[in-house]
Amino acid sequence: MSIKLRLTIMNFLQFFLWGAWLISLGGYMIVTLHFTGGEVGSVYATMGIASLFMPGLLGIVADRWLNAERVYGICHLIGAGLLIWASTVTDFKTLYMIMLLNAMVYMPTIALANTVSYKVLEQKGLDVITTFPPIRVWGTVGFIVAMWMVDFAGWTKSPFQLYISAAAALALGLYAFTMPACPPSKGERKQSMLSALGLDAFALLKRPQTAVFFIYAMLLGAALQITNAFGGAFLDDFKTAYPGTFGVAHPNLLLSISQISETLFILTIPFFLRRFGIKAVMLISMLAWVFRFGLFAVGDPGAGLWMLVLSMIIYGMAFDFFNISGSLYVDRESDSSIRASAQGLFMIMTNGLGAFIGGTASGWVVDHYTAGGVKDWRSIWFAFAGYALVLSLTFPFVFKYKHSTGESLPAHGHH
C-alpha cells in the first residue's frame, strides 16, 4: 500500500469517528435523554476544556519521549473504550465525565494526525505542502460519510452513533501502530513546557492590535460549535409541523451540506485573501455567521427549506475564512522562534476558551428561551445572530491592520 493511501485512510478515520456523533449527539441528548440546553451545551464545551491543555501536553510527550504514532494510537484506543461506555449511560453527570475524558484523548489527535502525516511524508522525501492537502481533504470526506451513515441507518437520536464512532476509533488505534515510526526528534532544541502550551506566545498580547485579534478569535470561537450542538434538536422540533419533510427525516444529511461547503470554500481563500486582505476576509467571516444564524431563525423544512440550505452553504465561509485568515495573521505577526507556539495560542483561544464559553453560554440562551419544554428557536437563533452582528460591527473599528497585496498562504489543518 502506498504511503499516501495509508495516510489517507488514517485521516479519513480520524474525522469519520468524530462525524459519527459530533452533529447528532445534541439531538440524541435533547430528544432521547431529555437533557436541558445547558447540559447539552456543557457536554459540547468539554472539547473546549480539553483543547486548552491536552494538545500541548501530548505534543510534549511526542516531542520528547514516545513515538508520535504510538501516542496517537493509544489515545484512540482509550477513546474507543470511553465511547462504548458513553453509549450505555443516560444520566447527565456520568455522560459529562465520559465525554470530557473522551475530549481529552480525542482533541490532541487532530494535531497528532498532522504531525504523523508531516513526519512520514518527510521521511519518504515528499513535499508536504503539495502532498498533504489532498490527503487531508479525505478527513472531511470521512466526517461527511459518517454523518450520512448515521442518518441513513436512523441513528441520529440513538446511542448507536457512539458504537460506530467507537468501532472507527478502535480500528484507527490499532492501525496507528502499523504506521512508520515517528520517533521523538533527537538533538533538536527541545520545546519548553511554556512553548508547547502556547504560553511563550503570550508576549504577542503586549501589542494592542494582536491582543484585540486574540480577543475576537475567542469571541468568534464561541460560535463554532453552537449549530453542531443544537442543529439536530432544532430540526427535530419541526416534526409535528412538517412531518416527513427532508430536513426532519434526514437532519444529518441537511446539516452535512455545511461540511461539504467547508471543503469548497477552502479553495476560494487564496483568491479572497489576495483580493481583499486578511482584515476584510475576517470581517466577511463574521458577517457570514450573522447570516448562518439569521437564516436558521427564519427558515423551516417546508417552503423555507432554501433558507436552511443557504445557511449550510454560508457556514463554509463563516468557518474557514476566520480559521485560515486568522492562522495566517498569527503566522505573519509572530517571530519564527514562537511561531508554533503562537498557532497553539490561536487554537487555545478559538477551540479552547472560545468553544468553552460558546458551549456554556449557548446552553443558557437555549434554556432562557425554553418554556414548558418548548423551545422558541426563532428567538434563540436571532440571539446568536445578534451576537455575531455586534462582533462584525465593532471589529473593523478596533482591529487596526494594514493589508499588503499578494498575501501567501501557510499550510494548515482545520476543524
Beta bridge partners of 370: 375
Cα separation, 268 vs 259, whole angstroms: 15
Place of cell 499588503: 404
* Range 198-407: architecture per CATH: Up-down Bundle (1.20)
250: nearest Cα among 24, 3, 2, 20: 24
Residue found by looking up cell 515510526 in the block: 181
Mention every residue, 6+ apart, whose C-beta is less than 8 A from residue 394: none
Cα separation, 318 vs 194, in Å, equals: 31
Q: For 243, which DSSP code? A: T
pLDDT tens, per residue, the chain with 415 residues = 899 999 999 999 999 999 999 999 999 999 999 999 999 999 999 999 999 888 888 888 888 889 999 999 999 999 999 999 999 999 999 999 999 999 999 999 998 998 899 889 988 988 877 888 888 889 999 999 999 999 999 999 999 999 999 999 999 999 999 999 988 876 555 566 666 666 777 788 888 889 999 999 999 999 988 999 999 999 999 999 999 999 999 999 999 999 999 988 988 888 898 899 889 999 999 999 999 999 999 999 999 999 999 999 999 999 989 888 888 888 888 887 777 778 888 888 999 999 999 999 999 999 999 999 899 999 999 999 999 999 999 999 999 876 554 445 554 444 5
**160: amino acid identity, one letter:** F
Tell me whether residue 374 is exposed, middle or buried, using C-beta atoms within 10 angstroms of its C-beta: 0 to 12, 13 to 18, 19 or more.
exposed
Q: 389-392 long-range contacts, Cβ below 8 Å, gap at least 24? A: 389/290, 391/216, 391/219, 391/220, 391/286, 391/289, 392/283, 392/286, 392/287, 392/289, 392/290
| All residues at 6 or more sequence positions from 376 whose CB lies less than 8 Å from its CB, including other chains | 369, 370
Distance CA 225, CA 96 (A): 16
Q: Which residue matches cell numbers 497528532?
A: 112
Name which CATH class applies to 1-183: mainly alpha
- Give 201's DSSP letter: G
CA distance 144 to 40: 22
Predicted confidence (pLDDT) per residue in 299-352, tens digit: 999 999 999 999 999 999 999 898 888 888 888 888 877 777 788 888 889 999
Q: What is the pLDDT of residues 44-89, one digit of tens each?
A: 999 999 998 888 888 888 888 899 999 999 999 999 999 999 999 9
d(CA 347, CA 353): 9
- Residues 227, 236: Cα–Cα separation, whole Å: 13
Kindly list the domain boundaries of the chain, sorted by start residue. 1-183, 198-407
CA distances from 373 to 32, 62, 108, 242, 368 (A): 14, 47, 37, 19, 11
CA–CA gap between residue 166 and residue 279 (Å, rounded): 41
Let me know if the fold of 1-183 is the same as that of 198-407: yes
